[in-house]
């Protein structure tokens, strides 16, 4: 099988390319923002679109930029792929389309009937891309949308990187018993391989089955660094008492899970 990965320098794209190669496939990668328009798509069996504008502080005046990169770019590329006879287009989306930070001290679960309600430019642009791509789906052109939570692993960007940075210097951390959806980068790469091998389509979800608390993740990070951690029940109570409406606290200590029946099985 010949697969093209859009997002040559992306964290997920690089791992997916290695995983596909190990499974005996021909996997090419391209930077769509630099030279995507010049790529010849004829002869490819599938395209995996990992490129996105993400992991940056948003500004209100950047709506057009997010739309251009996260919605228009994949939609245009998918249109070209369909015209070239590519059989499948896999789009990496995000739980950001649901607009949920998580519930501190309560439950927040994504279910089959959970309606998208993005609150960020990133989430809005991802949802708009999903709608545009789904409209291109046909019996000859399979479109798969894979919605994912935070991705972790060696060198992972975003919140995992910020938590690791904090773990290097802070020995005290709130003790909280929460569960947040996340997915291991290598497991995600394997799931993407399975999707193209099976030619699966529709809206799919990828998430780890085992979801340790943020406190456990933090302590494990410090243990890897050879450092001890003091998990404070008092700080945990402060988080529960005062953090329910604070976005950054919700993202760290809020519960945000998904119905296990929705998780893509490899």
Interval 16-25 mean pLDDT: 97
Is residue 164 within 8 A of residue 173, CB to CB? The reply is no
Domain assignment present for 56: yes
Interval 88-101 mean pLDDT: 97
pLDDT (0 to 100) of residue 141: 98
Predicted confidence (pLDDT) at residue 63 exceeds the cutoff of 90: yes
Comparison of pLDDT for 232 and 248, the residue scoring more: 232
Closest CA to 57 of 153, 12, 117, 121: 121
pLDDT (0 to 100) of residue 158: 86
Domain assignment present for 172: no
Is residue 255 within 8 A of residue 180, CB to CB? The reply is yes
Rounded to two decimals, the pTM is 0.94
pLDDT (0 to 100) of residue 266: 80
Interval 3-28 mean pLDDT: 95
Domain assignment present for 259: no
Domain assignment present for 236: no
Q: What is the CATH number of the domain that holds 144?
A: 3.40.50.720
pLDDT (0 to 100) of residue 32: 86
In tens, the pLDDT along 165-182 reads 999 999 999 999 999 999
Residue 141 pairs with which residues in a beta bridge? 138
| Residue 224 pLDDT grade (very low, low, confident, very high; cuts 50, 70, 90) | very high
Domain assignment present for 262: no
Q: Which residue range(s) make up the domain with 113? A: 2-154+181-209
pLDDT (0 to 100) of residue 148: 97
Domain assignment present for 256: no
| Residue 24 pLDDT grade (very low, low, confident, very high; cuts 50, 70, 90) | very high
Domain assignment present for 163: no
Domain assignment present for 134: yes
Q: Any idea which of 94-98, 157-161, 235-239 has the lowest mean pLDDT?
A: 157-161
Contacts for 181 with CB less than 8 Å, ≥ 6 apart: 95, 110, 149, 150, 207, 208, 211, 256, 257, 258
| Residue 56 pLDDT grade (very low, low, confident, very high; cuts 50, 70, 90) | confident
* Count of domains observed in the chain: 1
Tell me the average pLDDT of the chain.
95
Residue 174 pairs with which residues in a beta bridge? 232
Q: Which alpha helices (DSSP H) does the chain contain, by range?
A: 11-22, 32-35, 63-67, 73-83, 121-134, 159-167, 185-198, 214-224, 233-242, 247-253
pLDDT (0 to 100) of residue 13: 95
In tens, the pLDDT along 25-40 reads 999 999 988 776 788 9
């Amino acid at each position: 099988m010949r697969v093209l990965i859009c997002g040559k320098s992306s964290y997920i794209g690089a791992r997916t390319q290695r995983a596909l190669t190990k499974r005996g496939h021909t996997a090419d990668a391209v930077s769509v923002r630099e030279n995507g328009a010049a790529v010849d798509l004829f002869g490819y069996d599938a395209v995996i679109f990992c490129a996105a504008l993400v992991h940056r502080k948003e500004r209100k005046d950047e709506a057009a930029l997010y739309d251009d990169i996260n919605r228009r770019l994949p939609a245009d590329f998918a249109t070209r792929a369909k015209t070239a006879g590519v059989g499948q287009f896999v789009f990496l989306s995000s739980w950001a389309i649901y607009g949920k930070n998580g519930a501190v001290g309560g439950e927040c679960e994504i279910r089959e009937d959970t309606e998208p309600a993005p609150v960020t430019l990133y989430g809005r642009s991802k949802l708009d891309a999903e709608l545009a791509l789904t409209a291109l789906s046909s019996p000859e052109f399979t479109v798969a949308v894979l919605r994912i939570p935070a991705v972790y692993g060696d060198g992972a960007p975003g919140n995992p990187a910020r938590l690791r940075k904090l773990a290097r210097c802070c020995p005290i951390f709130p003790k909280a018993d929460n569960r947040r959806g996340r997915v291991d980068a290598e497991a995600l790469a394997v799931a993407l391989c399975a999707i193209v091998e099976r030619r699966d389509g529709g809206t799919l979800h990828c998430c780890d089955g085992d979801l340790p608390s943020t406190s456990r993740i933090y302590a494990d990070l410090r243990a890897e660094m050879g450092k001890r951690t003091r998990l404070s029940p008092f700080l945990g109570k402060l988080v529960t008492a005062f953090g329910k409406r604070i976005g950054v606290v919700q993202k760290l200590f809020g519960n945000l899970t998904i119905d296990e029946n929705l998780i893509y099985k490899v």
